[in-house]
Chain A
């Protein structure tokens, strides 16, 4: 979220405190004084991870501190990972494969690209998975590993985390 506050001692701390009060986790704080800005206001961008349904409470607390909220950008799921699966994807029930992730409640398949060269040949697919936390992502990947083994699919994982 992007905040605007008075550029005076203690203001930033006052704005950050409510975040931990509602159980949020601050990921990054970016603040810059723009040259030539003499209006005594400070623009701050805060990236944070907040539990479900606590946002309204936080907004109320911030307003009480005299902090003006310029913009709130929301992304419910924070972690993304793209994997590739190769094999007889249709014959082994692709919608079941996807559902194993979607039904967890903590991760979901957000994108799917497929390439099927011929009916009898193996097809290739690229899946992007989203999850709320890194641990959830690990659990989701672990599910895909066991599904791949069960359905004799080749699972190709990324070497590193993609933002």
Chain B
């Protein structure tokens, strides 16, 4: 199958490097970054484009936009991996809609459009007979949606609990391990490249809440939004509080929680026993799923990283290729 990749940040580069390094039967016919675009229906030389991007900061012609690639390139699947816009999901939301209207499948790591418009996008994809997959939007490399939709097919999903933000988990782990203050642990997280210059989005629990909204919408199709999440961040935690928790063989972690029967959606620091499966170290992510048949399943893995997130994208691409690829 042919794919077009929109966005050449960390995730986009990870996808292209993986495709260049592994022969998995997908050819790239369109590429765009924020400043340029490139189309070649006979298949793009990925290594060449990556080199050019490194040298010039552009992947293609300045005269061609990402929307031009979405509208005009000859592809089967659009890989939308441009930066997240949590406010209105644009311009990625328009790229996705345009591609779906052209009867193209969409695979994305972009949380904004999926959190804001999942119901609408899913309905549109269904109408056009194409797939919309977003494995990479929650918990990076961890195949949570494959597990929920394929592995746990037929199960009634009752609740989901997750450690969905690696930055917060790193900060809390370091506060517990070394008795660091929140400010010290945040500084360290920045030095390690786990935290942004403006950490608000992570430490106030917004990123975890967006992922929780995506989980709830995907599982229950309930159309909830970020405003429905009861949210408390980790920025007021003290090392003394963590020590008090540890005296009872517990610790504190930022937990995202969604419950079907009560409709509860909550992101908050919680006291949790140290040997609980959700207590993972450093920047790892973890998700516990509670169902009627399988009971409890916990997945743990890397929540971020270029190649790790590419793994989720590749999984979605091959899922689509397998399911739709042999169409006459």
Partner-B contacts on A (CB < 8 A): 82-84, 86-87, 113, 115, 117, 122-126, 154, 156-160
Contact = CB atoms under 8 A, between A and B. Distances in A.
Contact of B276 (A122, A124, A159): A159
A156 B266 CA distance: 13
A87 B238 CA distance: 9
B238 A157 contact: no
The secondary structure that dominates the A interface is strand
A156 B270 contact: yes
Contact of A126 (B244, B257, B268, B273): B244
Contact of A159 (B161, B232, B237, B243): B161
A124 B236 contact: no
Given A123-B240, A154-B232, A113 B247 contact: yes
A122 to B, nearest CB: 6
Contact of A82 (B240, B248, B255, B268): B248
Contacts of B238: 86, 115, 117, 122, 124
28 contacts: A82-B250, A84-B252, A86-B236, A86-B237, A86-B241, A115-B238, A117-B238, A122-B236, A123-B240, A124-B241, A126-B245, A154-B232, A154-B236, A156-B237, A156-B245, A156-B269, A156-B270, A157-B271, A158-B250, A159-B161, A159-B255, A159-B257, A159-B270, A159-B272, A159-B278, A160-B272, A160-B273, A160-B276
Interface in B205-232: 232
A82 B271 contact: yes
The 7 residue pairs across chains A and B that have the minimum distance between CB atoms: A115-B240, A124-B240, A124-B241, A126-B244, A158-B271, A159-B270, A159-B272
Contacts of A154: 232, 236-237, 269
Given A86-B238, A126-B244, 8 more contacts: A82-B248, A84-B244, A126-B247, A126-B248, A157-B268, A159-B270, A159-B278, A160-B276
The secondary structure that dominates the B interface is mixed
Interface residues of B, number: 24
Contacts of A125: 244
B241 A156 contact: yes
A117 B240 contact: yes
Contacts of A122: 236, 238
Nearest to B257: A159
Nearest to B235: A154
Contacts of B252: 84, 156
Among A86, A125, A126, A159, find the residue whose CB has the most chain B CB atoms closer than 10 A.
Answer: A159
A115 B270 contact: no
A147 B278 CA distance: 29
Interface string B89-118: 000000000000000000000000000000
